[in-house]
Structure 1
Amino acid sequence: MKIALCQINPIIGDFDYNTDLILNATERAKRLGCNLAVFPELCLLGYPPKDLLEKPAFIRENLDHLEKIATRIKGIHVVCGYVDQNPEHTGKPLVNSVALMADSRIQGKGGKRLLPTYDVFDETRYFEPAKKSLLFDLADKRVGVTICEDIWNVGDIEGIPLYPLDPVSGLSTRGIDILINISSSPYTLNKRLVRQNILSSLSLRYKIPTLYCNQVGGNDDLLFDGASMVVDRRGKLVLLGKEFESDLLVWDSEEEYEELRQPPLPEEASILKGLVIGTRDYVRKCGFQEVLVGLSGGIDSSLVAVIAERAVGAQNVTGVSMPSQYTSQISREDSRLLAERLNIKFVEIPITDIFDCYNRGLAEIFRGFEPDVTEENIQARIRGNILMALSNKFGALVLSTGNKSELAMGYCTLYGDLTGGLAVISDVPKTVCYRLARYVNKDKEIIPERVLIRPPSAELKPDQKD
């Protein structure tokens, strides 16, 4: 039996778009001679749908599109994630579900039995645990299907399960030959190896191949890296999907595979790819084409500009330099040089006169007070206002440039450098920003070297250092 793992990038709530993704990938799998096409968790809706799940019309549309997909499925079986209504009269109204479709109809259903409530997950808010997993026979094989968390019953401490229920063990007692897990598992650094270890452990324990199909792409504040994979009954990785790209893997149950000894991407490469696709998807899925980046001549704005150029193309990026009387000539030069190297649009809007107007307007009420952080924050807020004015006028999305270290310490200005529609590097510590910048420059200097070796400064007063 040949199974296609269809690693797609859905848009939350765009049922027509997601339906087309599913049908197009199904047709491709059929042309490749596959018996079964497998899609990620909740792929019909996009993950995470959050409070859209509380709208009855949203649930009905999801069910209508599932039926529409089913009528188009011929000559192949399809496993697809969706949301179903809870058939019971108690508990939450919905179940995180999976459907088996073939011959123009839905032939079987199952659901997610373990619901995570840690980290970014809040699934018990919406879902009732499913009573059963999907189980079916195809081409002389018995296939069990679990959903994401159903295989994560491993605990943070070795040997202590997170849940009293083990869906994989339950399926094993019913004699499965193949275990499938459909997921929308968010990216964190080195998570691919964590997933691989879980799959290997399951394959060795139950002596079956395990197939893992994950969502890819950015949806708001979550990144999904894809990296779908197949682990054989020996616990060896034999197939691996692309990271941060749509992909389609084909596994043949009758074929013997060599172990795939593919090292993970360097951490810098993995993080950078994630930031690029996350930025691209946020911009595109929100309906924007162009972005704005305030360029200070420092490490953070330089890195965000590089990410923006890779995400949406140089023609769609404008770098905005807003120097004051405290901005060094080096910072102005490096901002312009970076823009030239990236081939992005560049504008310079000095703020000295605007800042002087503020100071004159506030002189009377501030009489007797020495200049302090107040005046520094005014400069940051002037810059934020300018960026938002450009955004309003030209319909471009502002990308803010604060890093995780600054945000964690509160070293930022409300309505100032926090201004923006997407905080691109807000989960990237300052030390990692330097690592990423060095990685960007590994083959060719793009970010000026002075940016990497100068002591960082907000340049909001004379001789200031961060």
Structure 2
Amino acid sequence: MRDGFISVAAGTPKIRVADCRYNAEQIFTLMREADKQGVKVLALPELCLTGYTCGDLFLQDTLLRGAEEGLQTILEATRNLEIVTALGLPVWDKWDNKLYNCAAIIQKGEILGLIPKVYLPNYGEFYEQRWFASGSGVEHGIELCGQHVSLCTNQTFACDTMPNLVIGVEICEDLWAPAPPSVELARKGATVILNLSASNELVGKADYRRSLVTGQSARLMCGYVYADAGEGESTTDVVFTGHNMIAENGTLLAERRFATGLTVSEIDVDRLIHDRRRTNTFTFGKEPPEIWRCGFTLPVEETRLTRYVSPSPFVPEDAAGRAERCEEILRIASLGLKKRLEHTGAKTAVVGLSGGLDSTLALLITALAMGMLNRPASDIVAVTMPCFGTTARTKSNAELLAERMGATLKIIDISQAVRRHFTDIGQNMENHDVTFENGQARERTQVLMDIANQTGGLVIGTGDLSELALGWCTYNGDHMSNYAVNCSIPKTLVRHLVAYLARDNAEKDEALHDVLEDILDTPVSPELLPAVQGEISQRTEDLVGPYELHDFFLYYMLRWGFPPRKIYRLALYALGKTYTPDVILKWLKTFYRRFFSQQFKRSCLPDGPKVGSAALSPRGDWRMPSDASAALWQAELETLE
């Protein structure tokens, strides 16, 4: 429960049709098993206490009494369990003389509420209207198992000890309907929707069912737990396979078919609330009806994580997904630059080429944009500007890359110009301080801007999202350009984009492939300090930390608004086999310190295309005062020592 995680499960008991006593035993046994596994919220199938396939037996008093007695047995057997459980049974309402297909929400021997099914299928193999009445508009109390219980579709169940956990319930066909009850429940605060289902299996139906569950969780920004009927239901005409799913905001966390038992994962309700908070259209439109809200309590404790957390959240881990992501990003970025070149009538695109990853990607994107415009690659002016820290390897790679791409190459050694500038300002050449480094970066930017003026062109920025987050750029140096094509691409993804294009050119141009591979093998460095024996002496990740960690921190801080404590916990979970806790905490502190102190550089960024869900443009995703205090975040970090 801490950090917003709640363990949930979809369960499918093995039942016998119409044997309520046996089914009750199976249900409370499964509830006990779920409790042992730390599950706090459990959804069970539609009408699981009787079986969904009872047919006209639903009209028999014997079955209805058996269902109530079975529920009483479950309440008594689980009165010491904290787990909140939704299970299905038929409920006869003496008040209006109707039979309802209901979900009973129970905890610690108490029935918290009854939710009647709204949409009753009566087509194909379904005949529910033969036995049940729709719960639409039903809002009153009834007596069940000696308790006075609310019977109402418009009710939610809120956890007193975890305010962001609010449970809503719908039943099977309700999800298939044009206006599912879960929509209004979510608009009134439900963050986790439970669906008690008895959906029979047909060829292709699982894919459709899966798309409904994941799509609804995305549309409502909620967790969605789908529990399906399985073994034991009648197979006279259809088969049920227990297709259980747990989804969160469009992502399928866990899934199981053709089996009984539990499907378990953890839903992050704080993450859902953050997304709802930032999406102001979530509550627009006609106000939903009043919702009855029932409170319950769960003990506050650590939720053991079993859900997968990617160590590289910006990078798909499967090869096919990664290739698709790379292709899409390259197309978006190059389309953005194409439009800017068209609009300005620029005769050239000027790229400062260092022989490193970022400038390589910027050149490749620029070449794609030129191709879209049916313009020759020679309209790209690639400028390499060796200085005190430039190595033969990076200089050679920059020259080879420009040659293979067909760009117009300019080699301008800026060493003399920088020395003269240092003489003018009284900078000692032996003092390798920030002035020594930034003087080179600003000289390079001046050269690029002036060449752009000479050629009627635009300077194409090369800095990436990770560098912007850390402020790892020189203000009014490499920080500045006319259009920054890499500005929303994180460093971990930059590498994969270059690798993708390297593979794409393996057969077309072997020499281009080879130079791209060597660039990929070159340590990340600004090369602003003198080389040592011809080798790079300044390695970025030794100074600011591994980009693998910083991109992880950035994703969860920027995209999901997680606090430092939660990011640290997730980093330990996802990257703990690669980095020690001390190392993770060290660089997390560095990340927050630099992120807050370097905002002034992000407040005046040049234009550039957004390609993913996280970006730092001051005109788009991120508006933050340059003088905001980091005290609250730093104080929380200190508690992690």
- When normalised by structure 1's length, the TM-score is 0.51
Which secondary structure does the structure 2 equivalent of 1:144 belong to?
Answer: strand
Kept in 2: contact 1:18–1:44 (CA 8 A): yes
Alignment partner for residue 230 of structure 1, among 221, 229, 246?
246
Which secondary structure does the structure 1 equivalent of 2:239 belong to?
Answer: strand
Distance 1:189 1:9 in 2: 23
Aligned-pair distance for 1:8?
A: 1.9
Distance 2:123 2:53 in 1: 14
Which secondary structure does the structure 2 equivalent of 1:78 belong to?
Answer: strand
Distance 2:113 2:205 in 1: 31
- Relative to its length, the structure with more helix (as a share) is 2
Matched positions, count: 248
Distance 2:182 2:95 in 1: 23
Counterpart of 1:4 in structure 2 is 9
Residues 246-257 of structure 1: pairs in structure 2 closer than 5 A:
246-254=260-268, 257=308
Residues 9-28 of structure 1: pairs in structure 2 closer than 5 A:
9-28=14-33
Q: Which amino acid aligns with 1:4?
A: A
Which secondary structure does the structure 2 equivalent of 1:116 belong to?
Answer: coil
Counterpart of 2:181 in structure 1 is 167
Counterpart of 2:85 in structure 1 is 78
Counterpart of 2:254 in structure 1 is 239
Counterpart of 2:171 in structure 1 is 147
Aligned-pair distance for 1:105?
A: 2.2
Q: Deviations over 1:417-465 (max 9, x none)?
A: xxxxxxxxxxxxxxxxxxxxxxxxxxxxxxxxxxxxxxxxxxxxxxxxx
Distance 1:54 1:116 in 2: 18
Aligned-pair distance for 1:187?
A: 0.5
Distance 2:217 2:111 in 1: 29
Counterpart of 1:352 in structure 2 is none
Kept in 1: contact 2:9–2:246 (CA 8 A): no
Aligned-pair distance for 1:209?
A: 1.7
* Shift in CA distance, 261/99, structure 1 to aligned 2, threshold 3 Å: farther
* Shift in CA distance, 10/261, structure 1 to aligned 2, threshold 3 Å: farther
Q: Which amino acid aligns with 1:12?
A: V
Q: Which amino acid aligns with 1:192?
A: A
Distance 2:109 2:102 in 1: 19
Distance 1:210 1:56 in 2: 34
Residues 34-433 of structure 1: pairs in structure 2 closer than 5 A:
34-73=39-78, 74-75=80-81, 76-86=83-93, 88-89=95-96, 93-130=98-135, 131=138, 132-133=152-153, 135-138=156-159, 139-140=162-163, 141-153=165-177, 161=178, 165-217=179-231, 218-219=233-234, 220-233=236-249, 235-241=250-256, 243-254=257-268, 257=308
Consecutive unaligned residues of structure 1, counting only runs of 5 or more, are: 154-160, 263-466
Aligned-pair distance for 1:87?
A: 5.1
Distance 1:261 1:31 in 2: 32
Which secondary structure does the structure 2 equivalent of 1:253 belong to?
Answer: strand
Q: Which amino acid aligns with 2:74?
A: I
Aligned-pair distance for 1:98?
A: 0.8
Aligned-pair distance for 1:247?
A: 2.6
Q: Which amino acid aligns with 2:166?
A: R
Distance 1:197 1:70 in 2: 34
Regions of 4+ moved over 6 Å: 259-262
Distance 1:211 1:261 in 2: 25
Q: Deviations over 1:197-250 (max 9, x none)?
A: 1112211211112111111125132210112011211x1212011x22213111
Kept in 2: contact 1:86–1:128 (CA 8 A): no
Kept in 2: contact 1:7–1:214 (CA 8 A): yes
* Shift in CA distance, 261/23, structure 1 to aligned 2, threshold 3 Å: farther
Aligned-pair distance for 1:186?
A: 0.4
Distance 1:66 1:261 in 2: 45
Q: Which amino acid aligns with 1:210?
A: Y
Kept in 2: contact 1:238–1:258 (CA 8 A): no
Distance 1:54 1:261 in 2: 53
* Shift in CA distance, 166/14, structure 1 to aligned 2, threshold 3 Å: same
Aligned-pair distance for 1:86?
A: 2.7
Counterpart of 2:635 in structure 1 is none
Counterpart of 1:305 in structure 2 is none
Distance 1:71 1:107 in 2: 15
